[in-house]
Amino acid sequence: MNKAIVLGATGATGQVIVSELLTRGVDVIAFGRSETKLKALIEKHHFNKRLSYKLGDLFDYQTIVDAAEDSEVIFTCAGVAYQEMEEKLSLLGESVMKASHILGRKIVIVDGIYVYGYQSTKGDENHPKQPHTKKGKLRVAFEDLIFSNKWKNASPLIVRLPDYYGITSQNAYLQPTLEGMAAHKVSIFIGNLKTPREYVYLPDAAKMIVNIAERDDAYGENWNIPGVGLISGKEIIQIAREVTENRKMVIPLTKNSIRLIGVFDSFMKEVVEIMYLTKKGFVLSGEKYENRIGPIPATPYRKGLEQTLRLLMDGKHQI
């Protein structure tokens, strides 16, 4: 891969994928709608000559076509807000796939695990998709759209991440906890503190995603991007206390708490239906990745959390 475009380049996964591509000597076009954020991304990378940016609208396929130029791979890292998912998710899929089809390009779609619904087992890429939520069903329809036969010139693949964390995280469930702890404030934790859950460290995720994207035989498939096993909120907070020396209260937000907050906040209102993910830890199997790509990059939780917290304490915030 010599050149790639990253749609949603200033988002949580977009930023780490841009960094990983640049590390490998790939020319990168950062695509987004905020020139201020895109310029901040360029500055963050010390005006690396391999990094440029293009302004555009993800819902306007022609702006993607115009921006992609001779990019070999399109990385789609942009998401749709929970409260807009029903209206906009399929429109996003149509736009990025139409652009990929017109250009005849490979396209990597970054997605999550809502398609699996309420599960309490370890799942590989063939795990049954039986979502019980509106968002899960919309994501299954989104997957069907991505792999539709009408995009004959496009070569898509989907990578699925569990909850994640890292300095570029923005709307991740763990982010308010880590930001509050780093700022020596009372903070919140979304979910039960005792439930073990899986998280992936975003720099690890970026390495896996780019490794997959570099393989011609990886397209046309779903790929898991696993973390390093399960960890409870209680364990995360203990590590954070050791790093930050913050002993202030961490308040767990239960489903009922979030439902109440949702009366006043449209985003939190939509969080209620996917709180099932905080009750049992669903672990993504990395067996397919290990068999076909190689060893899984696996930063231990303690090291990844420490790195993230120290950057937060140093004032290194996301773009």
pLDDT in tens, 161-181: 999 999 999 888 899 999 999
Is residue 156 classed as helix, strand or coil in its secondary structure? Answer: strand
pLDDT surpassing 90 at residue 241 = yes
Residues forming a β-bridge with 201: 165
Model confidence band, residue 123 (pLDDT cutoffs 50, 70, 90): confident
The answer to whether 111 and 159 have CB atoms below 8 angstroms apart is: yes
The answer to whether 140 and 115 have CB atoms below 8 angstroms apart is: yes
Distance (Å, whole) CA 20 – CA 311: 18
Comparing 282 with 80, which gets the higher pLDDT?
80
Q: What per-residue confidence (pLDDT) applies to 267?
A: 67
Residues forming a β-bridge with 28: 4, 51
Fold type of domain 3-166+200-227+281-298:
Rossmann fold (3.40.50)
Distance (Å, whole) CA 30 – CA 42: 9
Least confident among 20-29, 48-57, 133-142: 133-142
pLDDT surpassing 90 at residue 85 = no
Any idea how long the chain is? 319
Distance (Å, whole) CA 264 – CA 272: 13
**What is this structure's pTM?**
0.93
| Domain residue limits, the chain | 3-166+200-227+281-298
Find, among 114, 229, 239, the residue nearest to 177 by Cα.
239
Which tens digit of pLDDT belongs to each residue from 46-78? 999 999 999 999 999 999 999 998 999 999 998
The answer to whether 122 and 186 have CB atoms below 8 angstroms apart is: no
Which tens digit of pLDDT belongs to each residue from 217-240? 999 999 999 999 899 999 999 999
DSSP 8-state symbol, 272: G
Distance (Å, whole) CA 79 – CA 8: 8
Q: What per-residue confidence (pLDDT) applies to 274?
A: 65
For 196-219, letters b (16+ CB in 10 Å) and e give ebbbbbbbbbbbbbbbbbeeeebb
- Give CA separation, 286 vs 107, 111, 126, 152, 200, in Å: 21, 16, 12, 29, 12
The helix (H) or strand (E) run that includes residue 255 is helix 255-262
Q: What is the mean pLDDT of the chain?
A: 91
C-alpha of 51 from chain center: 21
Q: What per-residue confidence (pLDDT) applies to 224?
A: 96
